[in-house]
Chain A
């Protein structure tokens, strides 16, 4: 029986915001922009809380890596039903360069430290669309992984995961401990209600540094340039079908 679930939650620019590139092309504008929990992380938290409500797990721990503001994201997870939070403090240039490799090392270290039996993550973050952290975490821990989960069933000490794959649905059975990444149709996350937000203020968030976990967050990637996608060019109207065919031939399309 799984006792403890670790859920990773990432603070990202809210999905409804129109993202703008900084004038110096080094990144996107984040100052003063609305941030919220990554939607796939919300689904991951919901799944963990559901497991706790079914009394299949004892404790849900929400984890986030970043500066002070990520504590808001952890509080949202607590308001949804997580029991306590862990804030891994990463700020400044380290935070700008933080990517799946470093986060997966942190998650692996925490999983060992907290003696977790299950890690649930969102399948990807909506800002970088990497879709790597879950897989890397499983590899570092040498745990089995059930990614793109649309259904998770805990059966004793085994985990049945239905995965959404290109060809349809694939069902796998994993030995615990394991890593699961949540896909869109896994569940519908609950809203944080005011009474639960109040209760969440009293739940504990402990703060650690990557160094305390023996993790080096130096990045091996350097972002050279960030640009907006090219502006959509106006279409060209043609008079006849023959014109259309010749234009398509010119453009090498046919």
Chain B
């Protein structure tokens, strides 16, 4: 299927036969190649986590070799389930002794193939470590283990008036979100993972356990030493296993108002966004859907949407401040030829207004039943967003690709939901080339090739283009210093 992505792993022909042959030998990584080493290691694993904590089953390994991206499955040789940081450390030591790759696994909901065991090795499923520790309500912080997902945390916090606002699409493991430096629809107000992690407990490749800000420490700010916490945010499992994260919480908004507005052009929508931010409106969410997406939503839900570039807005605050925010927003959108500005306060009407945005993924899939969808992810300075979106739409049309656009326009981040037939090799190739052009277009406009999903397997070359040779060298040095044997999630990021 995703022959286009195989090219990243090694330079391969697009010949289907070649692809199958390669997949057979790499995908089913030879167990016997290092058979006795693995046997010894597995015996040692069993003594740490017991029989139930280790699996060699094919189905289990396959499950742990894939995430929600379109990268093909790369199963590990063995999967282990540690229940404590001591067990993680002991298992890592064994892997280090036997020089086995270590692949951390949270919820398997990544979008860039981060869990693929391209060199085989040991998958550490951290899901059994699922405690919420140390909630400090007055300090707005909480510490969680890797098995805790964002929805589970927020459900547990619901009586405290606090929440963790970073909300990527999936119900992902919070430590996994740290590893990919995830973001969500309200980053414009609450920030991404980079701004919301106070401390991390990390197990390095040789089993050493460190606390990036010191054990148990959680000051809101610090000037102490190198910022190791943020070194691990976005490291995608290539520098260490994250076994605890201390997160910054926010107060649940007192009241919420949602609004929708259509515009005659992408430029008008983005201009409104810039002006809203400049006006100091503490807007919580600004989501953009292009006309193709609005048309897809109109067909999917049979609601009379205006088929035009549309902004979906959400405001958080006290009841009185919301009045003011909405008035300012309405003035600004009107000034940019916005029309059909509608807003709502109560939960049911807000749901209806935002329905298109929530259904976007499914509406896109419904455009071509039987096809799969892949989400691109680039981010540029907001002022460059109209240019990159207009050029991208032209690219899509010229190459006959289906790619409705949805974006977090307040951050300059947008996704083309590419709908494609995975069995049509030509289309797969064209989509792959399109995403490369898109990434390069974003880089040319002072942006990044990935706003939220990470580098993973597929964007390593783009990362080099993005940061340049000298900076990449520094990244390599850091990696070599922390993981000289390249055991931590090899084949990703660098």
Binding site for B on A (CB under 8 A): 14, 16, 34, 36-37, 76, 79, 188, 191-197
Contact = CB atoms under 8 A, between A and B. Distances in A.
Nearest to B154: A191
B156 A191 contact: no
Given A34-B156, A194-B254, 8 more contacts: A14-B156, A36-B159, A192-B158, A193-B253, A194-B252, A195-B161, A195-B254, A195-B318
A54 to B, nearest CB: 11
Given A191-B161, A197-B161, A16 B254 contact: no
Nearest to B161: A194
Contacts of B152: 16
B485 interface: no
A150 to B, nearest CB: 14
Given A191-B252, A193-B252, A194-B252, A37 B155 contact: no
B251 to A, nearest CB: 4
Contacts of B253: 193
Contacts of B397: none
Contacts of A79: 159, 161
Contacts of A192: 158-161, 252
Contact of B254 (A34, A37, A193): A193
B162 interface: yes
A76 B159 contact: yes
B33 interface: no
A34 B159 CA distance: 12
B157 to A, nearest CB: 9
Given A79-B161, A192-B161, A16 B155 contact: yes
A16 B132 CA distance: 12
B224 interface: no
B347 interface: yes
A191 B154 CA distance: 10
Given A16-B152, A188-B347, A196 B158 contact: no
A193 B161 contact: yes
A191 B158 contact: yes
A195 B317 CA distance: 11
Contacts of A197: 160-161
Residue of A76, A195, A196 with highest tally of chain B CB at under 10 A: A195
Interface in B159-184: 159-163
B251 A194 contact: yes
Contacts of A16: 152, 155-156
Interface in B38-93: none
B380 to A, nearest CB: 35
Contacts of B158: 36, 191-192
Nearest to B140: A194
A-B residue pairs, 8 tightest by C-beta: A194-B161, A194-B251, A197-B161, A193-B254, A193-B252, A191-B252, A76-B159, A193-B161
Contacts of A76: 159
A196 B160 CA distance: 10
17 contacts: A16-B152, A37-B159, A188-B347, A191-B158, A191-B161, A191-B252, A192-B159, A192-B252, A193-B251, A193-B252, A194-B161, A194-B162, A194-B252, A194-B254, A195-B318, A196-B254, A197-B160
Contacts of A195: 161, 254, 318
Contacts of A14: 156
A188 B347 CA distance: 9
A92 B254 CA distance: 38
A82 to B, nearest CB: 14
Nearest to A192: B161
Nearest to A189: B158
Contacts of B156: 14, 16, 34
A7 B202 CA distance: 47
A37 B159 CA distance: 9
Contacts of A37: 159
Nearest to A80: B159
Interface in B459-484: none
Contacts of B162: 194
Interface string B311-332: 0000000100000000000000
B135 to A, nearest CB: 10
A196 B155 CA distance: 18
Interface string B251-264: 11110000000000
